[in-house]
Structure 1
Amino acid sequence: MAYCTVSARMDTEVKAEFFQVCEELGLSPSTAINIFAKAMIRKNGFPFVLQIEKPSQETMKAIEEAIEEKNLVGPFSTGDDVMNSLKA
C-alpha cells in the first residue's frame, strides 16, 4: 500500500489539545486522522451529526424563569432537603 502526506492547517491550541488527546488514547495524530478518514469513507460523510444544539422549549422556559428569578426553590442545606423538594 502506498502512502502519501496530507497537510492541514489548524489553530496552535487545537493542535496541542488534539495531540494530547491522541497521546492519552495511545494513538499517533496520523493514526487518529486515518481513523477519521476511514470512518468518513464508511459513512459516506461525517461519522457524527453536525448540528446546532438548541435547547428544548421546556429548557428555554426554565432559563427565562431563572433569569427573571421566577419559580426558584432553595437554597438547600442538605442533600435530603433537595430530594424532599424534588419529591414534593
Structure 2
Amino acid sequence: MGTITTSIRTDAALKREADRLFADLGMNFSTAVNTFLRQAVREQGLPFKPSRNVPNADTRAAMIEADHIATDPNAHGYHSADELFEDLDA
C-alpha cells in the first residue's frame, strides 16, 4: 500500500518533547503517529479516554510539597518501611 505525506501543526516545544519521548521508546515521530492512527482505527475511537481530570488544589499542593521534599538535601528519608515505623514509634 502506498504512503502519503501529511502535515500537522503543533507547538514547537511540544514537538521537541514528543520527539525525545518517542526516541526513548525506540521510534520516531512518524512511527508514533502511525501507531496512534492504527490503534484509533482498531478501537474505532481515540485510543485513550479524553478527560479533564485536573488535580484539585489539595492534590496540587501535595505534589508541590513532594517535589520540595524530593529536592531538599536536608529532608530526612528512610531506606525501608521498618525504618519509618521505628521512627514513628520513637
Bin of the TM-score, shorter chain as denominator length = 0.5 to 0.7
How far apart are the structure 2 equivalents of 1:47 and 1:27?
A: 18
The SS at the match of 2:46 is: coil
Deviation at 1:54, TM superposition (A): 6.0
TM-fit CA distance, 1:17: 0.4
Which of 64, 78, 84 is equivalent to 1:79? 84
1:24 — aligned with what? 24
- Runs of 4+ aligned residues of structure 1 deviating over 4 Å after TM superposition are none
State the identity as a percent.
32
Matched ranges for 1:1-88 at <5 A = 1-53=1-53, 63=58, 79-80=84-85, 81-82=87-88
Find the counterpart in structure 2 of residue 73 from structure 1: none
Q: 1:15-74 deviations in whole A, cap 9, x for unaligned?
A: 00010011111101111100000011011110000012266xxx88xx4xx9xxxxxxxx
Aligned length: 67
Gaps of 5+ in 2: 62-82
Query: Cα RMSD over matched residues?
Result: 2.7
Residue aligned with 2:23, SS: helix
Find the aligned partners of 1:33 and 1:40 in 2 and give their Cα distance.
11
- Which protein is bigger by CA-based radius of gyration? 1
Distance in 1, Cα, partners of 2:28 & 2:52: 30
